[in-house]
Homo-oligomer: A and B are copies of this chain.
Amino acid sequence: MFHHSGKLQYPVKVDKPNPEFAMLLQQAIGGIEGEIRVAMQYFFQAMGARGDDRIRDMLMSTATEELSHIEMLGHAVALNLEGAPVSYQEATAQDPVMNAILGGANPRHLLSSGLSAMPVNANGVPFDMSHVYATGNIAADMLANVTAEAGGRVLASRLYNWTDDHGMKDFLSFLIARDTYHQQQWLAVIEELGGFEKQLPIPNATPEDNEAMQHSYYYLNTLLDKEAPKGRWSEGPSLDGRSQYSVRNQPAPEGQEPSLGGAKEKSGAQKEQIDPKK
């Protein structure tokens, strides 16, 4: 069950409100790199977590922290919109060039939300929950989580670089720090489970005879005019310790030509397809 405290997890200050930065911050709320995504992803992974119950607790605990991050970002957006113009006259008065064209802001911060945060990204596109990755496979889920936190820290760093507001920089340095930890937190679960050597290939419970293993360890170079790039992926022992890497260059197709013949009666095709001349 969830509970709430009235204060924010970390202080959020804005020195000089900036409606354009409000729009950029939205990416950290409703973007695929954002906090709604990780909150919901950890939440749904927790609800389906089978196996070691410590993982479920960890998922739910961190989901709860991410909810507090949405809350801080939402407040940051509202603070950046304080005093934004709501009429053409006011806009033109403030700055004849920039504000008259809405200053690069999200127009729906004016029209739809009444100067506050929305669950949308920096293009104004609403977050959709298909981005909540929860497979029921713990290693796949942990990787999805590291990926999400990597994207999150890339984004927070870009926002930090863009703004010159001291309050915002301080707040973003906190988010950067927490993303640092969360990246490692999920990788540490894989480490605890024996590391990639034991967890690969995912799922590691698929029996080997379900797999055409002769196709499992070569790099396929489909480029017609270039050699395969050499690297850790093209020779040496495989990361799961089961085999050796190799390269297959400019492969010829091994399958058949995929012809389907004539169309079925009453299937909605043209006559010529049902009874092809050729």
Contacts and interface: CB of A to CB of B under 8 A. Distances in A.
A246 to B, nearest CB: 10
Interface in A133-154: 133-140, 143-144, 146-147, 150-151, 153-154
Interface string A4-48: 111111111000000010011001001111001000100110011
B215 A268 contact: no
Interface in A174-198: 174, 176-181, 183-185, 187-189, 191-193, 196
Contact of A201 (B114, B161, B179, B199): B179
| Interface size class, chain A | 35 or more
Contacts of A172: 210
Contacts of A5: 1-3, 223-225, 252-253
Contacts of A112: 27, 31-33, 122, 135, 155
Interface in A222-257: 222-226, 228-233, 238-240, 245, 250-257
A269 to B, nearest CB: 5
B136 A211 contact: no
A217 B178 CA distance: 8
Contacts of A138: 269-270, 272-273
A87 B256 contact: no
Identify the 7 closest CB pairs spanning chains A and B, nearest first. A114-B136, A48-B116, A123-B124, A8-B255, A51-B273, A47-B74, A101-B104
A215 B189 CA distance: 20
Contacts of A7: 1, 225, 253-258
